[in-house]
């Protein structure tokens, strides 16, 4: 059994973990904030996001791009400055913005869920949008069944399709386009976030199945880490250490929901 250690707690729903500047950054979704966490310290609120933060990532130049899920907007933020609104799609989305990733050439990709999670029946009409500050925002893939965690590997974009229970792979173009779609792996559950470790393996949290699975670079199942009683949300890799984002979800007598999120670490060398 893999030994897990507490890294940080006090979150609602820790999503989109990114290592930057020696710290772990997170969207603390239902606390409506983006936080920075250094080992041994309490989470530091860096941004309040009233529109509810979704995916986020750092550009090669160090800017933070982030998407909001209650308003179809993309922002750029530099520490010490006010957020800059880059894209506002108004009512043009089906569902909500979800996870996102920045590529090495200035393009970013963000998923559109296709339906509202927790309210609508799942339907396969999710899309992926490409965005560049100099070239705007457009749809580059359709029929993606609730796009979620993403990573860029060479000239491929790897995407979790949560309700498709698979990892899909797209070839990326110089203009942000996606083509040559392939299924990289069929999964025994509902993938949420996604990361790739130093050895080229994929780590995939299976949300409702309460475990994180490890896949080879070509999609073969290698191992898993169980987190019983907690939803497996997202993960990030730094060296031989894996940061695992999870949350216990409890329905209270008044019908409301309590989410208790935490980040645990595991050595995966």
What tokens were used for 216?
């080879």
What totals of helices (H) and strands (E) does the chain contain, helices first?
A: 0, 24
Contact call for residues 38 and 23 (beta carbons, < 8 A)? yes
Q: Which helix (H) or strand (E) holds 213?
A: strand 211-215
Number of domains in the chain: 1
* Whole-number Å distance between alpha carbons of 69 and 91: 12
pTM for the full model? 0.95
Percent of the chain with pLDDT over 70: 100
Confidence (pLDDT) at 251:
87
Closest CA to 11 of 212, 243, 230, 245: 245
Of 11-20, 112-121, 236-245, the poorest mean pLDDT is in: 112-121
CA distances from 21 to 11, 38, 90, 269 (A): 21, 10, 33, 23
Under the banding of pLDDT at 50, 70 and 90, the label for residue 118 is: confident
Confidence (pLDDT) at 1:
65
Confidence (pLDDT) at 268:
87
* Whole-number Å distance between alpha carbons of 169 and 230: 28
CATH number of the domain bearing residue 164 = 2.120.10.30
* Whole-number Å distance between alpha carbons of 184 and 166: 7
Q: Pick 127 or 256 by higher pLDDT.
A: 127
Average pLDDT over residues 150-160: 98
State the pairing for strand pair 97-102/108-112.
Answer: antiparallel
* Whole-number Å distance between alpha carbons of 167 and 175: 23
- Count of Cβ atoms closer than 10 Å to residue 219 Cβ: 17
- How confident is the model over 46-91, as pLDDT tens digits? 999 999 999 999 999 999 999 999 999 999 999 999 999 999 999 9
Confidence (pLDDT) at 41:
81
Closest CA to 194 of 224, 156, 233: 233
Confidence (pLDDT) at 226:
97
- How confident is the model over 59-70, as pLDDT tens digits? 999 999 999 999
Under the banding of pLDDT at 50, 70 and 90, the label for residue 254 is: confident
What tokens were used for 261?
């999120």
- HSE on the CB side for 212, CA within 13 Å? 28
The per-residue pLDDT of the chain, averaged, comes to 95
Average pLDDT over residues 144-165: 98
- How confident is the model over 210-231, as pLDDT tens digits? 999 999 999 999 999 999 999 9
- Count of Cβ atoms closer than 10 Å to residue 123 Cβ: 14
Residue 50 sits in which domain range?
A: 4-267
What tokens were used for 7?
């890294």
Q: Could you give phi then psi for residue 208, rounded to 5 degrees?
A: -80, -20
Question: SS3 of 208, please?
Answer: coil
């Amino acid at each position: 059994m893999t030994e897990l250690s507490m890294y940080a707690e006090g979150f609602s729903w820790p999503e989109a973990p990114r290592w930057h500047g020696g710290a772990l950054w997170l969207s603390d979704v239902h606390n409506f904030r983006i936080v920075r966490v250094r080992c041994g310290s309490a989470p530091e609120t860096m941004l309040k996001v009233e529109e509810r933060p979704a995916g986020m990532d750092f550009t090669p130049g160090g800017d933070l791009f982030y998407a909001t899920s209650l308003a179809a907007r993309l922002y750029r933020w530099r520490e010490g400055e006010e957020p800059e609104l880059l894209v506002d799609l108004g009512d043009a989305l089906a569902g909500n913005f979800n996870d996102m990733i920045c590529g090495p050439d200035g393009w970013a990709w963000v998923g559109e869920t296709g339906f509202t999670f927790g309210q609508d029946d799942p339907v396969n009409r999710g899309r992926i949008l490409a965005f560049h500050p100099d070239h705007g925002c457009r749809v580059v893939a359709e029929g993606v069944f609730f796009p979620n965690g993403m990573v860029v590997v060479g000239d491929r974009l790897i995407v979790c399709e949560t309700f498709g229970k698979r990892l899909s792979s797209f070839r990326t173009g110089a203009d942000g386009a996606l083509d040559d779609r392939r299924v990289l792996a069929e999964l025994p559950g509902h993938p949420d976030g996604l990361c790739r470790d130093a050895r080229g393996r994929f780590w995939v949290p299976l949300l409702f199945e309460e475990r994180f699975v490890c896949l080879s670079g070509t999609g073969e199942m290698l191992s898993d880490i169980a987190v019983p009683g907690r939803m497996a949300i997202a993960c990030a890799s730094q060296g031989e250490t894996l940061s695992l984002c999870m949350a216990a979800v409890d329905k209270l007598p008044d019908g409301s929901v309590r989410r208790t999120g935490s980040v645990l670490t595991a050595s995966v060398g």
